[in-house]
Amino acid sequence: MDLNLRGKVYIVTGGSKGIGEGISRAIAAEGGIVVVATRSEGAVTTDFIAELKAGGTDAYAIFGDLQEVENCKKVIDATVKKYGRIDGIVNNAGVNDGAGLESGPEAFRKSINLNLFHYYDLVHYALPYLKESKGSIVNVSSKVALTGQGGTSGYAASKGAQLGLTREWAAELLPYSIRVNAVLPAEVMTPLYRKWLDSAFENPAKKEAEIIKKIPFEHRMTTKEEMANMVAFLLSDKSSHTTGQFMSVDGGYLHLDRSLT
C-alpha cells in the first residue's frame, strides 16, 4: 500500500535507535523525508542517516538534548530552513528511568523533564507549519500509562500525560485538520529493553521467557517494525478520519483476558 508519504517531511525524536529507528525506516521506505532529532551524536546516528540516504530518500539529523527548550525550537527552525515544510511529528524520545516514589521529588521532576516536556515544546514550535500542511502528530506513549508498573512514577506520569495531550491536541486542532494519535507499545525488544533485562536480573533468559509467556498473540514480543508500521499508517492520509485514538500494538497484552495467559 502506498501511504502517500513521498516527499513529505517527518520529524522523529529519538529516531536513530530502538522503536524510533523502526519508525524512521518505515517512513523512509514510503519515500518520506526523515528528520531525526536526537542527542545521540556519533557513528550510530551518522551511519544510520547515510544508510537511509543510500536507500533513495533524504534524511537529516539534528543533534541536541530535547530537555532544553531551545533545542526543540532549533529542531523546528533547522527543518524548515532545510526543507521548507513539516508534515508530521513523531514524539518518541524518552526512557524508563526508574524514578519511583522512594527516589524523591528531584528525581521525579527530572524524569518528567526527560520524558514529557519536549512532546509539548516540539509541537508548539511546529504548529504554524503543521497548520500549513494539515499534518499529523503521533505520540509514542506506553502501556505503563494505563497499567502502572511499580517503581517508575516519573515515567508513568509522563506517559499518562502524553495520552492526555493526545486527546487535548486532537480536540484543539480539529479546525486545522491536524490529526493527533498515540501508540502504546508494551513489550518490544529494543537495545534499552535488552540492557534492562541483562542488568536487572540474574537470569535474563528466564525473565524474558516469563514476559513472553504473558503476551497472548503468538507468545512473542512486538517487533519495532510492527510498531513503526502503525505509526506510518497514522501519519498517512490512509488514516484520514482517525484522531484522538490510543492504538495498542502489543499482541493483546493490554486488553485481552488474563485467563489467556
What does the angle CA 82 – CA 49 – CA 247 come to, to the nearest 5 degrees? 90
Q: Is 10 a catalytic residue?
A: no
CA separation for the pair 86, 134 (Å, rounded):
9
- Ordered alpha helix ranges (H), the chain: 18-29, 43-54, 69-83, 105-115, 117-133, 144-147, 153-172, 191-200, 204-213, 224-235
Residue pointed to by grid coordinates 505520540: 139
List phi, psi (to 5°) of 201: -135, 140
Q: Which residues of 55-83 are buried (b: 16+ CB within 10 A; e: fewer)?
A: eebbbbbbbbebbeeebbbbbbebbbeeb
R_g of the chain, CA atoms, integer Å: 18
CA separation for the pair 222, 227 (Å, rounded):
7
Q: Catalytic: which of 129, 155, 193, 253? A: 155
Q: Which residues are catalytic?
A: 155
